[in-house]
Amino acid sequence: MSRIIVNTLDKKSTISRNIYGNFSEHLGRCIYNGIFVKEDSGIENVNGMRTDVVKALQNIKLPVLRWPGGCFADEYHWKDGIGPKENRKKMINTHWGGVVEDNSFGTHEFLEFCRQVGCEPYINGNVGSGTVQEMSEWMEYMTFDGVSPMAALRAENGHPEPWKVKYFGVGNENWGCGGNMRPSYYADEYRRYQTYVRNYGGNKVFRIACGPNGDDYNWTEEVMQIAGRYMDGISLHYYTVTHTWDKKGSATEFSEEEYYKTLKKAYYMEELVTKHTQIMDRYDPEHKVGLLVDEWGTWHDVEPGTNPGFLYQQNTMRDAMVAALTLNIFNEHSDRVVMANIAQMVNVLQAIILTEGDKMVLTPTYHVFDLYKNHHDATLLSTFTETKEIGTEEDKLQNITVSSSVDANGVIHVTAANLSATESCPVELTLLGKYGGKATGRMLAGDRSAYNDFDCPETVQIREMGEITEKDGAYCFTLPACSVAEITIA
Ligand code: AHR
Protein backbone atom coordinates (compact mmCIF):
# COMPACT_ATOMS: atom_id res chain seq x y z
CA MET A 1 0.00 0.00 0.00
CA SER A 2 1.14 3.54 -0.67
CA ARG A 3 -0.12 6.72 0.98
CA ILE A 4 -0.16 10.00 -0.96
CA ILE A 5 -0.77 13.11 1.11
CA VAL A 6 -1.41 16.36 -0.75
CA ASN A 7 -1.21 19.54 1.31
CA THR A 8 -3.61 21.87 -0.48
CA LEU A 9 -2.59 24.72 1.85
CA ASP A 10 1.05 24.60 0.74
CA LYS A 11 0.96 26.16 -2.70
CA LYS A 12 4.27 26.27 -4.53
CA SER A 13 5.40 27.45 -7.99
CA THR A 14 3.32 27.72 -11.15
CA ILE A 15 3.81 24.77 -13.46
CA SER A 16 4.49 26.44 -16.79
CA ARG A 17 2.48 24.89 -19.59
CA ASN A 18 5.72 25.03 -21.60
CA ILE A 19 7.05 22.05 -19.61
CA TYR A 20 4.76 20.10 -21.93
CA GLY A 21 6.50 21.37 -25.08
CA ASN A 22 7.84 19.34 -27.99
CA PHE A 23 10.80 19.47 -30.33
CA SER A 24 10.82 19.08 -34.13
CA GLU A 25 13.91 18.83 -36.29
CA HIS A 26 14.70 18.32 -39.95
CA LEU A 27 15.66 14.77 -39.12
CA GLY A 28 14.33 11.55 -40.63
CA ARG A 29 10.56 11.75 -41.06
CA CYS A 30 9.81 14.30 -38.37
CA ILE A 31 9.03 17.25 -40.65
CA TYR A 32 8.54 15.66 -44.06
CA ASN A 33 5.69 13.08 -43.90
CA GLY A 34 5.48 13.57 -40.14
CA ILE A 35 3.86 16.97 -40.08
CA PHE A 36 4.23 18.30 -43.63
CA VAL A 37 3.04 16.60 -46.81
CA LYS A 38 2.49 17.63 -50.41
CA GLU A 39 -0.88 19.34 -50.69
CA ASP A 40 -1.91 16.86 -53.42
CA SER A 41 -0.56 13.81 -51.54
CA GLY A 42 -4.00 12.40 -50.79
CA ILE A 43 -3.27 12.82 -47.06
CA GLU A 44 -5.72 15.27 -45.52
CA ASN A 45 -3.92 18.57 -44.95
CA VAL A 46 -4.36 22.30 -44.71
CA ASN A 47 -1.57 24.19 -46.52
CA GLY A 48 0.50 20.99 -46.32
CA MET A 49 0.06 20.48 -42.56
CA ARG A 50 -1.34 17.03 -41.71
CA THR A 51 -4.82 17.45 -40.26
CA ASP A 52 -4.59 14.28 -38.13
CA VAL A 53 -1.35 15.44 -36.50
CA VAL A 54 -2.61 19.00 -35.96
CA LYS A 55 -5.77 17.69 -34.26
CA ALA A 56 -3.83 15.28 -32.05
CA LEU A 57 -1.59 18.13 -30.89
CA GLN A 58 -4.57 20.38 -30.24
CA ASN A 59 -6.03 17.64 -28.03
CA ILE A 60 -3.02 17.67 -25.71
CA LYS A 61 -2.91 21.49 -25.89
CA LEU A 62 0.66 21.50 -27.18
CA PRO A 63 2.00 24.79 -25.77
CA VAL A 64 5.30 25.31 -27.58
CA LEU A 65 7.31 23.74 -30.38
CA ARG A 66 11.06 24.02 -30.94
CA TRP A 67 12.46 24.07 -34.51
CA PRO A 68 14.53 23.60 -36.80
CA GLY A 69 16.99 21.60 -34.63
CA GLY A 70 19.00 20.23 -32.91
CA CYS A 71 22.26 19.79 -34.74
CA PHE A 72 20.43 20.81 -37.92
CA ALA A 73 19.94 24.33 -36.49
CA ASP A 74 23.65 25.17 -36.59
CA GLU A 75 23.82 24.23 -40.27
CA TYR A 76 20.56 25.89 -41.22
CA HIS A 77 20.53 29.10 -43.20
CA TRP A 78 17.00 30.44 -42.98
CA LYS A 79 17.09 32.34 -46.27
CA ASP A 80 17.35 28.96 -48.07
CA GLY A 81 13.83 28.21 -46.82
CA ILE A 82 11.83 31.25 -47.96
CA GLY A 83 10.38 32.43 -51.29
CA PRO A 84 8.99 30.38 -54.18
CA LYS A 85 9.49 26.68 -53.45
CA GLU A 86 10.92 25.91 -56.90
CA ASN A 87 13.77 28.38 -56.26
CA ARG A 88 14.66 27.06 -52.82
CA LYS A 89 18.11 25.58 -52.45
CA LYS A 90 18.43 21.81 -52.32
CA MET A 91 21.11 20.75 -49.88
CA ILE A 92 22.47 17.70 -48.10
CA ASN A 93 21.29 17.04 -44.59
CA THR A 94 24.80 16.09 -43.52
CA HIS A 95 23.91 15.28 -39.94
CA TRP A 96 20.91 13.12 -40.53
CA GLY A 97 21.24 10.40 -43.15
CA GLY A 98 22.83 12.50 -45.92
CA VAL A 99 19.43 12.91 -47.60
CA VAL A 100 18.39 15.84 -49.80
CA GLU A 101 16.77 18.70 -47.91
CA ASP A 102 14.74 20.69 -50.40
CA ASN A 103 13.89 23.47 -47.95
CA SER A 104 10.20 23.26 -48.80
CA PHE A 105 9.44 23.56 -45.09
CA GLY A 106 10.91 26.85 -43.89
CA THR A 107 10.04 29.80 -41.68
CA HIS A 108 6.60 30.51 -43.19
CA GLU A 109 5.62 26.85 -43.04
CA PHE A 110 6.78 26.40 -39.44
CA LEU A 111 4.91 29.46 -38.26
CA GLU A 112 1.83 28.34 -40.19
CA PHE A 113 2.03 24.95 -38.46
CA CYS A 114 2.21 26.65 -35.05
CA ARG A 115 -0.77 28.83 -35.99
CA GLN A 116 -2.86 25.77 -36.88
CA VAL A 117 -1.90 23.91 -33.69
CA GLY A 118 -2.24 27.02 -31.51
CA CYS A 119 1.23 26.69 -29.96
CA GLU A 120 4.07 29.17 -29.46
CA PRO A 121 7.04 28.89 -31.82
CA TYR A 122 10.51 28.43 -30.32
CA ILE A 123 13.10 29.07 -33.01
CA ASN A 124 16.70 27.97 -32.64
CA GLY A 125 19.28 30.18 -34.39
CA ASN A 126 22.60 29.23 -35.95
CA VAL A 127 25.79 30.17 -34.09
CA GLY A 128 27.99 27.28 -35.27
CA SER A 129 28.05 28.14 -38.99
CA GLY A 130 25.89 31.25 -39.24
CA THR A 131 26.64 34.93 -38.90
CA VAL A 132 25.46 37.54 -36.45
CA GLN A 133 23.87 39.40 -39.37
CA GLU A 134 21.96 36.28 -40.46
CA MET A 135 20.55 35.74 -36.99
CA SER A 136 19.67 39.40 -36.60
CA GLU A 137 17.92 39.50 -39.97
CA TRP A 138 15.91 36.37 -39.17
CA MET A 139 14.30 38.10 -36.20
CA GLU A 140 13.77 41.25 -38.27
CA TYR A 141 12.16 39.15 -41.04
CA MET A 142 9.75 37.46 -38.66
CA THR A 143 8.80 40.26 -36.31
CA PHE A 144 9.55 43.76 -37.64
CA ASP A 145 6.43 45.80 -38.33
CA GLY A 146 7.50 48.78 -40.44
CA VAL A 147 9.78 49.79 -43.27
CA SER A 148 12.87 47.60 -43.45
CA PRO A 149 14.57 45.32 -45.97
CA MET A 150 13.54 42.13 -44.16
CA ALA A 151 9.94 43.26 -43.57
CA ALA A 152 9.74 44.07 -47.30
CA LEU A 153 11.11 40.63 -48.18
CA ARG A 154 8.55 38.99 -45.91
CA ALA A 155 5.75 40.92 -47.61
CA GLU A 156 7.12 39.95 -51.02
CA ASN A 157 6.89 36.33 -49.86
CA GLY A 158 3.23 36.71 -49.03
CA HIS A 159 3.18 37.62 -45.34
CA PRO A 160 3.02 41.39 -44.83
CA GLU A 161 1.93 41.02 -41.20
CA PRO A 162 4.73 40.30 -38.75
CA TRP A 163 4.56 37.20 -36.57
CA LYS A 164 5.16 37.10 -32.85
CA VAL A 165 8.17 34.95 -31.94
CA LYS A 166 8.90 34.95 -28.24
CA TYR A 167 11.34 32.07 -27.74
CA PHE A 168 14.69 32.23 -29.52
CA GLY A 169 17.67 29.94 -28.92
CA VAL A 170 21.15 31.28 -29.62
CA GLY A 171 22.84 28.11 -30.90
CA ASN A 172 22.36 24.42 -30.11
CA GLU A 173 24.82 22.08 -28.42
CA ASN A 174 27.69 24.48 -29.14
CA TRP A 175 29.86 22.19 -26.99
CA GLY A 176 29.40 19.54 -29.73
CA CYS A 177 27.68 19.60 -33.12
CA GLY A 178 27.15 23.36 -32.80
CA GLY A 179 30.85 24.23 -33.15
CA ASN A 180 32.81 22.24 -30.51
CA MET A 181 33.30 25.38 -28.44
CA ARG A 182 34.62 25.74 -24.93
CA PRO A 183 32.20 27.29 -22.44
CA SER A 184 34.00 30.62 -22.07
CA TYR A 185 34.28 31.02 -25.85
CA TYR A 186 30.60 30.18 -26.33
CA ALA A 187 29.60 32.53 -23.52
CA ASP A 188 31.33 35.43 -25.27
CA GLU A 189 29.81 34.45 -28.61
CA TYR A 190 26.43 34.25 -26.93
CA ARG A 191 26.83 37.80 -25.59
CA ARG A 192 27.68 39.06 -29.08
CA TYR A 193 24.95 37.22 -31.02
CA GLN A 194 22.14 37.95 -28.58
CA THR A 195 22.88 41.69 -28.77
CA TYR A 196 21.46 41.73 -32.29
CA VAL A 197 18.42 39.55 -31.62
CA ARG A 198 16.22 42.61 -31.27
CA ASN A 199 12.84 43.25 -29.74
CA TYR A 200 10.68 44.81 -32.45
CA GLY A 201 7.40 46.52 -31.65
CA GLY A 202 5.52 44.49 -29.07
CA ASN A 203 7.62 41.37 -29.65
CA LYS A 204 9.70 40.81 -26.54
CA VAL A 205 12.20 38.04 -27.13
CA PHE A 206 13.00 35.43 -24.46
CA ARG A 207 16.67 34.70 -25.26
CA ILE A 208 17.92 31.19 -24.57
CA ALA A 209 21.60 30.32 -24.22
CA CYS A 210 23.01 26.91 -25.06
CA GLY A 211 23.41 25.02 -21.82
CA PRO A 212 25.18 21.87 -20.74
CA ASN A 213 25.31 18.32 -21.98
CA GLY A 214 23.94 16.28 -19.06
CA ASP A 215 26.25 16.58 -16.08
CA ASP A 216 28.72 19.08 -17.54
CA TYR A 217 28.39 21.38 -14.52
CA ASN A 218 31.44 23.38 -15.55
CA TRP A 219 29.60 24.51 -18.68
CA THR A 220 26.71 25.89 -16.61
CA GLU A 221 29.13 27.54 -14.18
CA GLU A 222 31.13 29.37 -16.84
CA VAL A 223 28.23 30.35 -19.09
CA MET A 224 26.21 31.65 -16.14
CA GLN A 225 29.19 33.57 -14.80
CA ILE A 226 30.12 35.20 -18.10
CA ALA A 227 26.75 35.60 -19.77
CA GLY A 228 24.06 34.96 -17.14
CA ARG A 229 22.85 38.54 -17.07
CA TYR A 230 22.24 38.60 -20.83
CA MET A 231 19.84 35.66 -20.98
CA ASP A 232 16.29 34.74 -20.02
CA GLY A 233 16.95 31.02 -20.10
CA ILE A 234 19.61 28.38 -20.47
CA SER A 235 19.02 24.94 -21.94
CA LEU A 236 19.89 21.45 -20.68
CA HIS A 237 20.02 18.29 -22.83
CA TYR A 238 19.80 14.82 -21.38
CA TYR A 239 18.78 11.60 -23.12
CA THR A 240 17.93 8.30 -21.42
CA VAL A 241 20.12 5.63 -23.00
CA THR A 242 19.67 2.20 -21.44
CA HIS A 243 23.15 0.82 -22.18
CA THR A 244 25.85 2.63 -24.18
CA TRP A 245 25.76 5.04 -27.11
CA ASP A 246 27.19 2.26 -29.32
CA LYS A 247 24.67 -0.36 -28.20
CA LYS A 248 21.68 1.36 -26.75
CA GLY A 249 19.25 -1.56 -26.76
CA SER A 250 16.01 -2.34 -28.56
CA ALA A 251 12.97 -0.10 -28.16
CA THR A 252 10.57 -3.04 -27.88
CA GLU A 253 12.51 -6.12 -26.83
CA PHE A 254 13.97 -5.78 -23.38
CA SER A 255 14.10 -7.71 -20.14
CA GLU A 256 12.68 -6.68 -16.78
CA GLU A 257 16.24 -5.80 -15.70
CA GLU A 258 16.60 -3.51 -18.71
CA TYR A 259 13.22 -1.95 -17.93
CA TYR A 260 14.46 -0.91 -14.49
CA LYS A 261 17.82 0.20 -15.87
CA THR A 262 16.04 2.57 -18.28
CA LEU A 263 13.87 4.04 -15.53
CA LYS A 264 16.87 4.46 -13.25
CA LYS A 265 18.73 6.32 -16.00
CA ALA A 266 15.66 8.52 -16.56
CA TYR A 267 15.55 9.35 -12.83
CA TYR A 268 19.00 10.88 -13.20
CA MET A 269 17.12 13.95 -14.46
CA GLU A 270 16.26 14.73 -10.81
CA GLU A 271 19.94 15.01 -9.89
CA LEU A 272 20.78 16.98 -13.03
CA VAL A 273 18.06 19.56 -12.53
CA THR A 274 18.89 19.89 -8.83
CA LYS A 275 22.61 20.40 -9.37
CA HIS A 276 22.33 22.77 -12.34
CA THR A 277 19.77 24.74 -10.33
CA GLN A 278 22.23 25.00 -7.42
CA ILE A 279 24.82 26.52 -9.75
CA MET A 280 22.27 28.87 -11.28
CA ASP A 281 21.14 29.91 -7.80
CA ARG A 282 24.60 31.32 -7.12
CA TYR A 283 24.51 33.61 -10.14
CA ASP A 284 20.77 34.19 -10.28
CA PRO A 285 19.30 33.86 -6.77
CA GLU A 286 16.09 35.57 -7.87
CA HIS A 287 15.37 32.92 -10.50
CA LYS A 288 15.19 35.40 -13.36
CA VAL A 289 16.85 32.87 -15.67
CA GLY A 290 14.83 29.78 -16.48
CA LEU A 291 16.16 26.29 -17.09
CA LEU A 292 14.81 24.81 -20.33
CA VAL A 293 15.26 21.08 -20.77
CA ASP A 294 14.76 21.53 -24.48
CA GLU A 295 15.87 18.01 -25.46
CA TRP A 296 14.97 14.98 -23.34
CA GLY A 297 13.63 11.49 -23.81
CA THR A 298 14.64 7.91 -24.52
CA TRP A 299 17.15 7.11 -27.23
CA HIS A 300 17.02 3.42 -28.28
CA ASP A 301 18.44 1.56 -31.27
CA VAL A 302 16.60 2.36 -34.49
CA GLU A 303 13.93 -0.07 -35.67
CA PRO A 304 15.56 -2.90 -37.66
CA GLY A 305 15.68 -2.13 -41.38
CA THR A 306 15.26 1.64 -41.00
CA ASN A 307 17.85 4.31 -41.92
CA PRO A 308 20.22 4.63 -38.91
CA GLY A 309 20.38 8.38 -39.54
CA PHE A 310 16.62 8.76 -39.12
CA LEU A 311 16.45 7.74 -35.43
CA TYR A 312 13.09 6.03 -35.82
CA GLN A 313 12.12 3.94 -32.78
CA GLN A 314 8.94 2.35 -31.42
CA ASN A 315 7.50 3.54 -28.14
CA THR A 316 6.29 1.21 -25.37
CA MET A 317 4.83 1.50 -21.89
CA ARG A 318 8.45 1.72 -20.70
CA ASP A 319 8.75 5.02 -22.59
CA ALA A 320 5.44 6.14 -21.09
CA MET A 321 6.83 5.50 -17.60
CA VAL A 322 9.95 7.53 -18.47
CA ALA A 323 7.68 10.38 -19.56
CA ALA A 324 5.52 10.12 -16.43
CA LEU A 325 8.42 10.22 -13.98
CA THR A 326 10.29 12.92 -15.92
CA LEU A 327 7.29 15.24 -16.18
CA ASN A 328 6.68 14.80 -12.44
CA ILE A 329 10.31 15.84 -11.84
CA PHE A 330 9.84 18.95 -14.00
CA ASN A 331 6.61 19.85 -12.18
CA GLU A 332 8.39 19.55 -8.83
CA HIS A 333 11.17 21.86 -10.08
CA SER A 334 8.89 24.34 -11.80
CA ASP A 335 10.36 27.20 -9.79
CA ARG A 336 13.38 26.85 -12.12
CA VAL A 337 12.31 24.61 -15.01
CA VAL A 338 10.23 26.87 -17.25
CA MET A 339 10.17 24.78 -20.41
CA ALA A 340 10.91 21.26 -21.62
CA ASN A 341 10.74 19.81 -25.13
CA ILE A 342 10.57 16.08 -25.58
CA ALA A 343 12.66 14.77 -28.49
CA GLN A 344 11.02 14.53 -30.86
CA MET A 345 7.39 15.12 -31.73
CA VAL A 346 6.85 12.79 -34.70
CA ASN A 347 8.73 9.70 -35.98
CA VAL A 348 12.03 10.46 -34.19
CA LEU A 349 13.32 9.16 -30.82
CA GLN A 350 10.66 9.24 -28.04
CA ALA A 351 7.98 10.40 -30.45
CA ILE A 352 4.50 11.11 -29.22
CA ILE A 353 3.17 10.44 -32.73
CA LEU A 354 4.17 7.98 -35.46
CA THR A 355 3.03 8.25 -39.08
CA GLU A 356 3.23 6.02 -42.12
CA GLY A 357 1.61 7.31 -45.32
CA ASP A 358 -1.85 8.47 -44.34
CA LYS A 359 -1.85 6.47 -41.09
CA MET A 360 -1.12 7.92 -37.66
CA VAL A 361 -0.50 6.24 -34.33
CA LEU A 362 -0.55 7.89 -30.92
CA THR A 363 2.17 6.38 -28.75
CA PRO A 364 1.92 5.57 -25.02
CA THR A 365 4.04 8.69 -24.43
CA TYR A 366 1.38 10.79 -26.18
CA HIS A 367 -1.20 9.49 -23.73
CA VAL A 368 0.96 10.57 -20.78
CA PHE A 369 0.96 14.12 -22.19
CA ASP A 370 -2.82 13.81 -22.38
CA LEU A 371 -3.09 12.63 -18.75
CA TYR A 372 -0.87 15.49 -17.55
CA LYS A 373 -2.43 18.35 -19.54
CA ASN A 374 -4.41 19.68 -16.59
CA HIS A 375 -1.15 20.64 -14.89
CA HIS A 376 -0.60 23.37 -17.52
CA ASP A 377 -0.24 26.70 -15.69
CA ALA A 378 -1.65 25.19 -12.48
CA THR A 379 -0.11 25.71 -9.04
CA LEU A 380 2.11 22.95 -7.72
CA LEU A 381 0.99 21.53 -4.36
CA SER A 382 3.26 20.09 -1.73
CA THR A 383 2.93 16.30 -1.78
CA PHE A 384 4.25 13.50 0.41
CA THR A 385 4.33 9.96 -0.96
CA GLU A 386 5.04 6.78 0.93
CA THR A 387 6.95 4.52 -1.44
CA LYS A 388 8.85 1.27 -1.41
CA GLU A 389 12.01 0.21 -3.14
CA ILE A 390 11.71 -1.82 -6.33
CA GLY A 391 14.05 -2.78 -9.18
CA THR A 392 17.15 -4.88 -9.26
CA GLU A 393 20.28 -5.08 -7.12
CA GLU A 394 21.98 -2.75 -9.60
CA ASP A 395 19.07 -0.45 -10.37
CA LYS A 396 16.94 0.34 -7.36
CA LEU A 397 14.20 2.93 -7.44
CA GLN A 398 11.02 3.97 -5.63
CA ASN A 399 7.82 2.42 -6.92
CA ILE A 400 5.54 5.47 -7.02
CA THR A 401 6.12 8.91 -8.58
CA VAL A 402 3.58 11.69 -8.02
CA SER A 403 2.91 15.35 -8.53
CA SER A 404 -0.17 17.39 -7.81
CA SER A 405 -1.51 20.81 -8.64
CA VAL A 406 -4.55 23.00 -8.24
CA ASP A 407 -5.93 24.77 -11.29
CA ALA A 408 -7.53 28.20 -11.63
CA ASN A 409 -10.96 26.73 -10.79
CA GLY A 410 -9.75 25.12 -7.57
CA VAL A 411 -9.78 21.62 -9.08
CA ILE A 412 -6.98 19.34 -7.90
CA HIS A 413 -5.12 17.06 -10.30
CA VAL A 414 -2.79 14.33 -9.10
CA THR A 415 -0.63 12.40 -11.57
CA ALA A 416 0.76 9.17 -10.16
CA ALA A 417 2.65 6.33 -11.78
CA ASN A 418 3.41 2.84 -10.49
CA LEU A 419 6.80 1.97 -11.95
CA SER A 420 6.79 -1.65 -10.82
CA ALA A 421 6.77 -4.02 -13.79
CA THR A 422 4.97 -6.73 -11.85
CA GLU A 423 3.16 -5.55 -8.71
CA SER A 424 0.02 -3.50 -8.46
CA CYS A 425 -0.18 -0.96 -5.67
CA PRO A 426 -3.25 0.03 -3.63
CA VAL A 427 -3.18 3.76 -2.88
CA GLU A 428 -4.80 5.93 -0.22
CA LEU A 429 -4.86 9.56 -1.26
CA THR A 430 -5.54 12.18 1.40
CA LEU A 431 -5.98 15.91 0.91
CA LEU A 432 -4.96 18.17 3.77
CA GLY A 433 -6.97 21.38 4.01
CA LYS A 434 -9.77 20.37 1.67
CA TYR A 435 -12.75 18.27 2.53
CA GLY A 436 -15.32 16.70 0.30
CA GLY A 437 -15.11 16.67 -3.46
CA LYS A 438 -15.66 13.84 -5.84
CA ALA A 439 -12.67 12.00 -7.26
CA THR A 440 -12.56 10.64 -10.80
CA GLY A 441 -9.64 9.13 -12.66
CA ARG A 442 -8.18 8.29 -16.05
CA MET A 443 -5.46 5.70 -16.48
CA LEU A 444 -2.94 4.20 -18.87
CA ALA A 445 -1.78 0.67 -18.06
CA GLY A 446 -0.20 -2.21 -19.88
CA ASP A 447 2.58 -4.68 -20.08
CA ARG A 448 5.96 -2.94 -19.93
CA SER A 449 6.63 -3.68 -23.61
CA ALA A 450 3.12 -2.99 -24.95
CA TYR A 451 2.95 -0.50 -27.82
CA ASN A 452 0.67 0.80 -30.54
CA ASP A 453 1.45 0.24 -34.21
CA PHE A 454 -0.23 0.80 -37.54
CA ASP A 455 -2.00 -2.59 -37.42
CA CYS A 456 -3.06 -2.29 -33.77
CA PRO A 457 -3.16 1.44 -32.99
CA GLU A 458 -5.20 1.10 -29.80
CA THR A 459 -3.41 -1.58 -27.78
CA VAL A 460 -2.43 1.06 -25.21
CA GLN A 461 -5.14 3.60 -24.50
CA ILE A 462 -6.40 5.83 -21.73
CA ARG A 463 -9.42 4.43 -19.92
CA GLU A 464 -11.67 5.82 -17.25
CA MET A 465 -10.87 4.42 -13.80
CA GLY A 466 -13.65 2.63 -12.02
CA GLU A 467 -15.21 4.02 -8.91
CA ILE A 468 -12.80 5.67 -6.51
CA THR A 469 -14.06 4.81 -3.03
CA GLU A 470 -13.67 6.93 0.10
CA LYS A 471 -12.59 5.50 3.44
CA ASP A 472 -11.80 7.50 6.58
CA GLY A 473 -11.33 10.66 4.54
CA ALA A 474 -9.00 9.05 2.00
CA TYR A 475 -9.61 8.25 -1.67
CA CYS A 476 -8.78 4.62 -2.39
CA PHE A 477 -7.78 3.13 -5.73
CA THR A 478 -5.28 0.69 -7.16
CA LEU A 479 -2.49 1.46 -9.58
CA PRO A 480 -1.80 -1.68 -11.64
CA ALA A 481 1.79 -2.63 -12.43
CA CYS A 482 3.29 -0.31 -15.04
CA SER A 483 0.54 2.30 -15.02
CA VAL A 484 0.05 6.04 -14.87
CA ALA A 485 -3.09 7.81 -13.71
CA GLU A 486 -4.59 11.23 -13.39
CA ILE A 487 -6.90 11.66 -10.40
CA THR A 488 -9.13 14.74 -10.47
CA ILE A 489 -10.82 16.04 -7.33
CA ALA A 490 -13.36 18.73 -8.03
O1 AHR B 1 17.55 14.92 -31.14
C2 AHR B 1 18.61 14.44 -31.89
C3 AHR B 1 19.88 15.23 -31.67
O4 AHR B 1 20.33 15.06 -30.36
C5 AHR B 1 19.79 16.72 -31.82
O6 AHR B 1 19.88 17.14 -33.13
C7 AHR B 1 20.95 17.21 -31.02
O8 AHR B 1 20.76 18.50 -30.51
C9 AHR B 1 21.14 16.16 -29.96
O10 AHR B 1 22.43 15.73 -29.86
Q: How remote is the CA of residue 71 from the centroid of ligand 1, in Å?
A: 6
Cα separations in angstroms, 295 against 125, 310, 339, 362: 15, 17, 10, 20
Q: Please tell me if the CB atom of residue 297 comes closer than 6 angstroms to any atom of ligand 1.
A: no
> What is the residue-averaged pLDDT of the chain?
97
- The atom of ligand 1 lying closest to the CA of 25 is 6
Segments in 79-147 forming alpha helices (H): 107-117, 132-143
What percent of the chain clears pLDDT 70, i.e. is strictly above it? 100
Q: How remote is the CA of residue 96 from the centroid of ligand 1, in Å?
A: 10
Residue-level pLDDT at 169? 98
Distance CA 379, CA 15 (A): 6
Q: How remote is the CA of residue 52 from the centroid of ligand 1, in Å?
A: 26
Q: Which residues contact 385 (CB under 8 A, 6 or more apart)?
A: 2, 3, 4, 5, 400, 401, 402, 416
The residue nearest atom 3 of ligand 1, judged by CA position, is: 70
The catalytic residue positions are 173, 295
Distance CA 65, CA 114 (A): 8
Q: Please tell me if the CB atom of residue 69 comes closer than 6 angstroms to any atom of ligand 1.
A: yes
- The atom of ligand 1 lying closest to the CA of 176 is 10
pLDDT-based confidence at 436, cuts 50/70/90? confident
Q: Do 16-376 and 381-489 share a fold?
A: no
Residue-level pLDDT at 375? 98
Cα separations in angstroms, 434 against 9, 174, 178, 375, 487: 8, 49, 51, 19, 15
Contact 469, 483 (CB under 8 A): no
The residue nearest atom 8 of ligand 1, judged by CA position, is: 70
Of the options 2.60.40.1180, 3.20.20.70, 2.40.160.20, 2.130.10.10, the CATH number for the domain spanning 381-489 = 2.60.40.1180
Q: Please tell me if the CB atom of residue 25 comes closer than 6 angstroms to any atom of ligand 1.
A: yes
Q: How remote is the CA of residue 70 from the centroid of ligand 1, in Å?
A: 5
Q: Please tell me if the CB atom of residue 171 comes closer than 6 angstroms to any atom of ligand 1.
A: no
Q: Please tell me if the CB atom of residue 446 comes closer than 6 angstroms to any atom of ligand 1.
A: no
- Which pLDDT tens digit goes with each residue over 367-384? 999 999 999 999 999 999
Among 71, 75, 126, 350, the mutation site with the greatest number of ligand 1 atoms within 8 A of its Cβ is: 71
* Residue 466 pLDDT greater than 90, yes or no: no
Residue-level pLDDT at 369? 99
Of the options 3.40.50.300, 3.40.50.620, 3.30.530.20, 3.20.20.80, the CATH number for the domain spanning 16-376 = 3.20.20.80
- Which pLDDT tens digit goes with each residue over 380-432? 999 999 999 999 999 999 999 999 999 999 999 999 999 999 999 999 999 99
Exposed/middle/buried for 332, CB within 10 Å: 0-12, 13-18, 19+?
buried
Contact 384, 414 (CB under 8 A): no
Is the pLDDT higher at 44 or at 94? 44
Largest CA distance in the chain: 71
- Which pLDDT tens digit goes with each residue over 143-173? 999 999 999 999 999 999 999 999 999 999 9
Q: How remote is the CA of residue 29 from the centroid of ligand 1, in Å?
A: 14
Q: How remote is the CA of residue 214 from the centroid of ligand 1, in Å?
A: 13
The residue nearest atom 5 of ligand 1, judged by CA position, is: 70
- Which pLDDT tens digit goes with each residue over 346-365? 999 999 999 999 999 999 99
- The atom of ligand 1 lying closest to the CA of 311 is 2
Return the domain boundaries, the chain: 16-376, 381-489
